[in-house]
A and B are shown apart, each in its own frame.
Chain A
Amino acid sequence: MQELIASILAGENFLSDVPPVLITVVFMSAAGLLFASLAAINALIAVYLERKVSAHMQDRLGPMEVGPHGTLQTLADAVKLLLKEDIVPQNADRFLHTLAPFLVFAAAIGALVALPYSSAFLFANFDIGVLFVISITSLTVIAIIIAGWASNNKWSLLGGMRSAAQIVSYEIPTALALLVIIMQVGSLNFQQIATAQTGWFWHWHVFQFFPFNLIAFLIFFVASLAEVNRTPFDLPEAESELVAGFMTEYSGFKWAVFMLSEYANMIVVTGVGAAVFLGAHQSPFGNFMNGGVWGVFWFVGKAYGLVLVQIWLRWTLPRLRVDQLMYTSWKVLTPFAFACIFAVGLWMIL
């Protein structure tokens, strides 16, 4: 995007009086607004996908009334949520109760900025790309704790605490699994990770250094499921136990923001997985259907493919207990991830 702004600043004549900072800020704000709207639309699509896929897996139809085959259902839901009363429980901390949705959504959008959507067009090409995404997603933990606390409800607090402990425990295997690939590429930059996977689909990182990269991908996928509180790790939002966990006392649009951010976080983690393991915006057929616009199609397609797998897992697997959750993270995933790092390191040396 930097080149685009530079070309605008260089080319246009009627804009030459305006200070370039202002043009840059306005342009980036417009892009940011577009981005936030895309995140909202993404949540709409993801919720619709979830309801339809879960319905068909359970041998029923799902939403069919609003729009053809229920496609406008989530739009109707979003409008409904805007019109609902915003109930803040008495003795709750009103400021913190309102702050939490802001933090959660800002964290999700901040992480979405850094992903490599295409070889030709990027929002931000960080040199520390992977590390940046990991650190911005750690903001979500604080927002969840604040949301749980601010509701003045001991079950929300418990849900928020559990969710924070879960996300925090699974950040270690996530980062370790990503490190396996970074060792092979030699850079944290998403574009360089993408260019390291040029070629046909067997050049993707998940098929290299067999079987260690595959194990790393599986570790990453399982750990990222826990990062976004999806089944089988959705004890914090366990509908049958804690009502809605830390979201219990949120109504109306604030709850919608939490839902938006949850689905945006799903796209963030599947986007990172697709970028690092599945060849980012590269086409699986080598040079066929490769290029700027096709890159966006492939990247979004791979990310949504992983989202479909996440939805599939949600409606197939039962939920893990909280001690099984902790056991899986610290005693299974972390040692295996360390073993992968050692193995790949030795392989690369010898």
Chain B
Amino acid sequence: MTTFDFTFYAFSILTLLSASVMVFSKNLIHCAVGLLFAFFGIAGIYVLLAADFLAAVQVLIYVGGILVLLLFGVMLSQRIAGVNIETGTLQFIPALLVCGVVFAILTHLALKTRWSLMPLAEMAPTSRTIGNLLMTEYLLPFEIISILLLAALVGAAFMARREAR
């Protein structure tokens, strides 16, 4: 097992463990901390995929922005520890069967797909490529993103104002 594989497994285990902490914990702040490490693990996997720009953006936006927003939202809620966050379960056995079937299908797909691979030696910095592509080939999505962000900003500010009242 090379160092690369070892690092990949380490980050994957970090991500999966943190995500399970996030799903199963009863304390909302512990969930948020689990999410923090999950984001960090995903950023590590991005680095291993030679997406350096994306890894930095992952930490900047998800950890520095969205997790902060989540934590602020959690602090606004009434109860944080001992919250019963489980919804009730109805038909347990059929649900278990369906979940098992879906899991089997997804695993089969994941193993059978011919993922496009890249040799390890060709890892190159990506910022310049992303910049060029955004300005030339993907210009329309780029401009539409600005409109999407404007819509998100206006909508979120509007709803937050309603809450304040």
Contact = CB atoms under 8 A, between A and B. Distances in A.
Residue among A95, A135, A145, A157 with max Cβ neighbours from chain B (10 Å): A135
Contacts of B3: 21
Interface string B19-44: 00000000101100100100000000
Interface residues of B, number: 22
Given A96-B29, A132-B56, A188 B36 contact: no
Contact of B60 (A21, A96, A134, A164): A134
B128 to A, nearest CB: 8
A161 B64 contact: no
Interface in B43-72: 52-53, 56-57, 59-60, 63-65, 67-68, 71-72
B127 interface: yes
B125 interface: yes
Given A128-B125, A161-B72, A138 B33 contact: no
A138 B127 contact: no
B10 interface: no
A248 B103 CA distance: 48
A72 interface: no
A308 interface: no
Interface in A150-195: 150, 157, 161, 164, 168, 171, 188
Interface string B67-83: 11001100100000000
Contacts, number: 67
Contacts of A134: 56, 60
User: Mostly helix, strand, loop or mixed at chain B's interface?
Assistant: helix
A142 B71 contact: yes
B29 A127 contact: no
A33 interface: no
Interface string A67-100: 0000000000000000000000000010110010
A126 interface: yes
B71 to A, nearest CB: 5
Given A146-B33, A161-B72, A139 B53 contact: no
A131 interface: yes
Given A131-B53, A135-B57, A168 B29 contact: no
A117 interface: no
Contacts of A93: 27, 29
Interface in A25-75: none
Contact of A168 (B56, B57, B68, B75): B68
Contacts of B52: 126-128
A149 interface: yes
Contact of B33 (A21, A99, A126, A131): A99
B75 to A, nearest CB: 7
A161 B36 contact: no
Interface in B133-150: none
A142 B29 contact: no
B9 to A, nearest CB: 15
A7 B50 CA distance: 25
B75 A161 contact: yes
B159 to A, nearest CB: 19
A131 B27 CA distance: 33
Given A21-B3, A128-B52, A142-B36, A135 B64 contact: yes
Interface string B117-138: 0000000010100000000000
A259 interface: no
Given A142-B36, A142-B68, A149 B29 contact: yes
B112 to A, nearest CB: 33
A150 B27 CA distance: 12
B91 to A, nearest CB: 37
A168 B64 contact: yes
A136 interface: yes
Given A93-B29, A168-B64, 16 more contacts: A93-B27, A95-B30, A99-B33, A127-B52, A131-B56, A134-B60, A135-B56, A138-B59, A141-B64, A142-B63, A142-B64, A145-B68, A146-B29, A146-B33, A149-B71, A168-B65
Interface of A: 21, 93, 95-96, 99, 126-128, 131-132, 134-136, 138-139, 141-142, 145-146, 149-150, 157, 161, 164, 168, 171, 188
